[in-house]
Amino acid sequence: MRATLHQLKIFQQVAALMNYSAAANKLNLTQPAISIQIKQLEENLGLPLFEKIGKQIFLTSAGKEFNAFCMDIFTQIDNMDMKLSAMKGQLEGDFHLSAVTSAKYFTPHLLGAFHKLYPKISLYLDVVNRKQIIQRLKNNEDDLIIMGLIPKELPLTYYPIIDNPIVITASPSHPLATQKNIPVSELLKYDFIFREQGSGTRKALVDFLSSQQMKLSPSMVLGSSETIKQAVIADLGISALSRHSITLELATNSLIELDVQGFPLMRDWYVVHHNGKRLSPAAQAFVDFILHEQETVASLCNRFLETQFISQSAKE
Is the residue at 13 inside a domain? Answer: yes
- Measured N-to-C along each axis, helices 20-27 and 31-45 cross at an angle, to the nearest 10 degrees, of 110
Let me know whether 167 and 260 are in one domain. yes
Let me know whether 98 and 240 are in one domain. no
Does residue 163 surpass a pLDDT of 90? no
| 41 or 278, which is more confident | 41
Let me know whether 170 and 255 are in one domain. yes
d(CA 248, CA 10): 42
Q: What is the reported pLDDT for 89?
A: 52
Q: How confident is the model at residue 73 (pLDDT cuts 50, 70, 90)?
A: confident
End-of-domain residue from the set 67, 89, 111:
89
Is the residue at 314 inside a domain? Answer: no
Q: How confident is the model at residue 88 (pLDDT cuts 50, 70, 90)?
A: low
Rg (CA), the chain: 23
Is the residue at 42 inside a domain? Answer: yes
Q: What is the reported pLDDT for 262?
A: 94
Is the residue at 312 inside a domain? Answer: no
Q: What is the reported pLDDT for 297?
A: 76
Amino acid (one-letter) located at 186: E
CATH classification at residue 193: 3.40.190.10
Is the residue at 176 inside a domain? Answer: yes
Let me know whether 217 and 229 are in one domain. yes
Residues of the domain holding 302? 91-161+268-307
Does residue 74 surpass a pLDDT of 80? yes
pLDDT tens digits, 191-204: 999 998 888 889 89
Is the residue at 315 inside a domain? Answer: no
Does residue 85 surpass a pLDDT of 90? no
Let me know whether 65 and 106 are in one domain. no
Is the residue at 182 inside a domain? Answer: yes
Let me know whether 114 and 253 are in one domain. no
Judged by average pLDDT, the poorest of 22-36, 126-140, 169-183, 294-308 is 294-308
Is the residue at 313 inside a domain? Answer: no
d(CA 113, CA 67): 34
Exposure pattern of 126-152 as b/e (b: 16+ CB <10 Å)?
A: ebbbbebbbebbeeebbbbbbbbbeee
* pTM beyond cutoff 0.75: no
Let me know whether 131 and 168 are in one domain. no
Q: How confident is the model at residue 58 (pLDDT cuts 50, 70, 90)?
A: very high
Q: What is the reported pLDDT for 155?
A: 92
Q: What is the reported pLDDT for 186?
A: 95
d(CA 301, CA 270): 13
Does residue 208 surpass a pLDDT of 60? yes
Q: What is the reported pLDDT for 223?
A: 84
Q: What is the mean pLDDT of the chain?
A: 87
Per the structure, the count of domains in the chain is 3
CATH classification at residue 83: 1.10.10.10
Alpha-carbon dihedral sign for residues 272, 277, 283, 284: positive
Let me know whether 120 and 198 are in one domain. no
d(CA 265, CA 186): 17
End-of-domain residue from the set 44, 69, 89:
89
Let me know whether 143 and 168 are in one domain. no
pLDDT tens digits, 112-160: 989 988 898 999 999 998 889 999 998 888 999 999 989 888 999 999 9
Q: What is the reported pLDDT for 309?
A: 43
Let me know whether 239 and 287 are in one domain. no
Let me know whether 72 and 217 are in one domain. no
Contact criterion met (CB below 8 Å) for 37 and 24: no
Let me know whether 179 and 233 are in one domain. yes
* Burial class of residue 46, CB neighbours in 10 A (0-12, 13-18, 19+): exposed
Q: How confident is the model at residue 247 (pLDDT cuts 50, 70, 90)?
A: confident
pLDDT tens digits, 93-115: 889 999 998 888 889 989 998 99
Contact criterion met (CB below 8 Å) for 274 and 150: no
- Of 26, 29, 27, 266, the C-alpha closest to 167 is 266
